[in-house]
Amino acid sequence: MRFVRPPAVALVTGASTGIGRATTFALAAAGFSTFGTIRTNNDADGLVSDATAEGLIVRPIIADVRDSESVRTAFANVVEAAGQVDVLVNNAGVGATGVVELTPPSQYAHTFDVNCIGAVRWIQAVLPGMRERRRGCIVNVTSASGRVASAWQSPYVASKWALEGLSECLALEAAPFDVRVVVIEPGVTLTAAFDKRASRILGTGGPYAPSLARLGRYVSAGLAQPTAPAVVGQVVCDAVTAQKFRFRHPCSWSGVELTRSRARTSDEAWIALAAIDDDDEYARAYEQLTGVDLSS
């Protein structure tokens, strides 16, 4: 797979905050001509002023990943301004907390539309040009939750697993055209999305209260020692520019540990972990299995 060098044109979705903003800054600092999608004009000033304060140029583009026409228009605007897109970073996403029994189907539909189908809309816009030029890189920001399931995150986990599978299909399809496809799998990262998720998991939880509390314990432990978005942004930049191709890039607090430990753990052992009644015993077993300390 070819790597992409500056001053190539990079486009990052969901650039107004968190990992998306950090990624636009990392790519701009590396010399890429960088565009970041935002949903409204209200987000543009903050993105531009923060970039300027760091001596960077980032150009905001309005786009809604849920709207195919919005994506087509945004892509056309970037092509008009810069000629082409060499790097696409599908970062825009939403968190969603819930158990299968109690989560309405509409929540699954919304989560999939943003986290997976939104990426498809952008891929279908940029890939024809990359394929014809035999040059380009598509980065899909999934999650450690795209490899490791947990209770109370079924809409989010399902959407990220779908994006992982789609990414692998895409990598196979794009390889003959020298287009690089990579996935970034963050664990807990200090973003607004994790703050919102932390607030959503507070509550009784009904019959699933014990597993809700354990999810809260995991998030609290991660937020006590979180990874900054800039770290993930640099992982994205490195994945794009590395001469040696690597498909998956786990990162952030617990990301590497969970993906590696889950790969070597049987399904039965992983599921048996959830059946442990005592919370302290569960935390000890979880750390023994994964290497992740749930203390906060």
Q: Could you confirm whether 108 is annotated as catalytic?
A: no
Coil/strand/helix, residue 282: helix
What's the CA gap between 17 and 37, in Å, rounded? 11
**Rg of the chain taking only CA atoms, in angstroms:** 19
Look-up: residue for tokens 């077993």? 285
Q: How many of the other CB atoms lie within 10 Å of CB of 287?
A: 14
Per the CB < 8 A criterion, the answer to whether 181 and 171 are in contact is: yes
Please identify, in words, the CATH class of the domain defined by 9-200+227-264. Answer: alpha beta
Write out the chain's pLDDT in tens, 296 residues: 678 989 999 999 999 999 999 999 999 999 999 999 999 888 898 999 999 999 999 999 999 999 999 999 999 999 999 999 999 999 999 999 999 999 999 999 999 999 999 999 999 999 999 999 999 999 999 999 999 999 999 999 999 999 999 999 999 999 999 999 999 999 999 976 655 554 455 445 789 999 999 999 999 999 998 899 999 999 999 999 999 999 999 999 999 999 999 999 999 999 999 999 999 999 999 999 999 999 87
Per-residue pLDDT at 194:
54
The pair phi, psi for residue 180, each rounded to 5°, is: -85, 135
| Helix, strand or coil, per DSSP, at residue 34 | strand
* Phi, psi angle pair for 235, to nearest 5°: -60, -45
Query: Active site residue: 156, 218, 282, 286, which one?
Result: 156
Q: 111 with 145: CB under 8 angstroms? A: no
| 45/35 Cα distance (integer angstroms) | 14
Count of positions (residues) in the chain: 296
